[in-house]
């Protein structure tokens, strides 16, 4: 068989001599490539065997020398701005992100932030270089941050579970319900403890007196204060030593009221459910009544919220009566209350100073069996609310309006929302 062997070719009489490859390609689709010496050879990289299935698919190579069209398509146009990274879609297309990366490296450990218009930048202060220790929290000096140990849990606000406290106010004006001293007149001419939870007139007057002043918008007249006699108290916090808080058989003396009505007391115990489920508890109380207008009652306030359960979203609430009486020096009562999840209720005990003999009145105002009330670890005495009841005012209160919801929002502002 005849053979034609060609080792090189020349283009025209003066063209360069090109040396032909001496062997076949090692793979299909390997193109011929040249060198500056005119030596032609088969490229070790093979071209794809078929055209791209879509526009803008770049070539990618494998370690065996083959190439193929990438399943990821490059953008059809250039980036609209510098430093825009490529982002991919599930259909294999890519585009330039609308968020631009910083043009230069930043200081160590500074986090990326955005200016709100698509430009990422390094933050003004760096994060710590390490993760810190268990219980540490981030602290800043205005230019840098560091991990610092958590404060020791030694404040009363962190002692819930160890402290049971009530806030109590007393007044000598139970005997002056018809004087008009509760306010300037109108419907506010009588007050009855036994109707505190069921009658708006009595609830408004009673809650204002609980917070220290039955006529909080008075100017120079009708000074209806608690703590208005020698041994009376105004917004006093009393704590339990063991399982009781309050007093039993306390003597009150009124020299100007030897045989008539004595005074009144209002005591509140804030109880919080820290769990995600409602919990039913028992409240045990001892209280004193004397007559219709020196009566007694026990009940509680449950807040309602505009949304969620936090202090700051409380907009109102409901009062629920558990006990009431218009007679009897000593009454012992145990009642059950269901406390909603993540909610603080206000349990209120209203008691009277009962006449015993000339000048002398006695009173029982006592929560007991607190170890039973707080037997569930999720039920605590809400100390934040206790201090709010002790200190905060309700700016919207008047002699004709009481606003317990403002105690909750004030508590959020003063001691922190939860």
pTM surpassing 0.85?
Answer: no
Cα–Cα dist 280/261, whole Å: 37
98-153: per-residue pLDDT in tens?
A: 888 888 888 888 888 888 888 878 777 888 888 887 777 788 777 778 887 765 54
The whole-number pLDDT of residue 347 equals 98
241-291: per-residue pLDDT in tens?
A: 999 999 998 998 877 666 667 889 999 999 999 999 999 999 999 999 988
Q: Kindly indicate the confidence band of residue 321, based on its pLDDT and cuts at 50, 70 and 90.
A: very high
Cα–Cα dist 406/306, whole Å: 13
Higher-scoring residue by pLDDT: 160, 287: 287
- Which range has the worst mean pLDDT, 131-140, 324-333, 350-359, 391-400? 131-140
């Amino acid at each position: 068989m005849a053979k034609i062997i060609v080792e090189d070719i020349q283009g025209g009489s003066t063209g360069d001599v090109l040396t032909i490859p001496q062997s076949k390609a090692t793979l299909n689709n390997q193109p011929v490539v040249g060198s500056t010496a005119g030596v032609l050879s088969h490229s070790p990289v093979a071209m794809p065997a078929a055209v791209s299935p879509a526009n803008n698919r770049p070539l990618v190579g494998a370690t065996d020398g083959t190439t193929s069209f990438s399943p990821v398509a490059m953008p059809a146009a250039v980036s609209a701005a510098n430093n825009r990274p490529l982002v991919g879609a599930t259909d294999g297309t890519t585009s330039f992100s609308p968020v631009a990366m910083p043009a230069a490296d930043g200081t160590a450990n500074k986090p990326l932030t955005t200016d709100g218009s698509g430009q990422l930048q390094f933050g003004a202060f760096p994060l710590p270089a390490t993760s810190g220790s268990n219980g540490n929290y981030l602290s800043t000096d205005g230019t840098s941050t560091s991990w610092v140990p958590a404060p020791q849990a030694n404040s009363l606000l962190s002692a819930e579970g160890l402290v049971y406290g009530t806030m109590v106010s007393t007044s000598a004006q139970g005997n002056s319900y018809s004087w008009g001293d509760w306010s300037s007149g109108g419907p506010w001419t009588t007050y009855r403890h036994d109707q505190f939870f069921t009658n708006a007139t009595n609830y408004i007057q009673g809650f204002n007196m609980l917070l220290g002043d039955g006529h909080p918008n008075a100017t120079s007249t009708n000074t209806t204060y608690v703590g208005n006699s020698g041994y009376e108290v105004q917004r006093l916090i009393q704590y339990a030593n063991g399982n009781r808080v309050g007093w039993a058989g306390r003597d009150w003396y009124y020299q100007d009221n030897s045989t008539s009505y004595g005074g009144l007391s209002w005591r509140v115990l804030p109880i919080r459910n820290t769990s995600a489920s409602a919990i039913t508890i028992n409240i045990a109380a001892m209280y004193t009544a004397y007559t219709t207008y020196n009566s007694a009652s026990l009940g509680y306030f449950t807040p309602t919220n505009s949304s969620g359960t936090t202090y700051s979203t409380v907009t109102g609430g409901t009062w629920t009566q558990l006990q009431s009486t218009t007679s009897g020096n000593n009454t012992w009562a145990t009642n059950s209350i269901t406390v909603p999840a993540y909610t603080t209720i206000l349990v209120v005990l209203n008691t009277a100073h009962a006449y015993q003999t000339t000048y002398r009145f006695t009173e029982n105002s006592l929560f007991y069996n607190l170890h039973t009330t707080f037997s569930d670890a999720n039920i605590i005495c809400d100390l934040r609310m206790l201090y709010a009841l002790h200190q905060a005012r309700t700016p919207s209160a008047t002699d004709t309006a009481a606003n317990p919801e403002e105690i909750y929002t004030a508590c959020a502002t003063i001691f922190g929302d939860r």
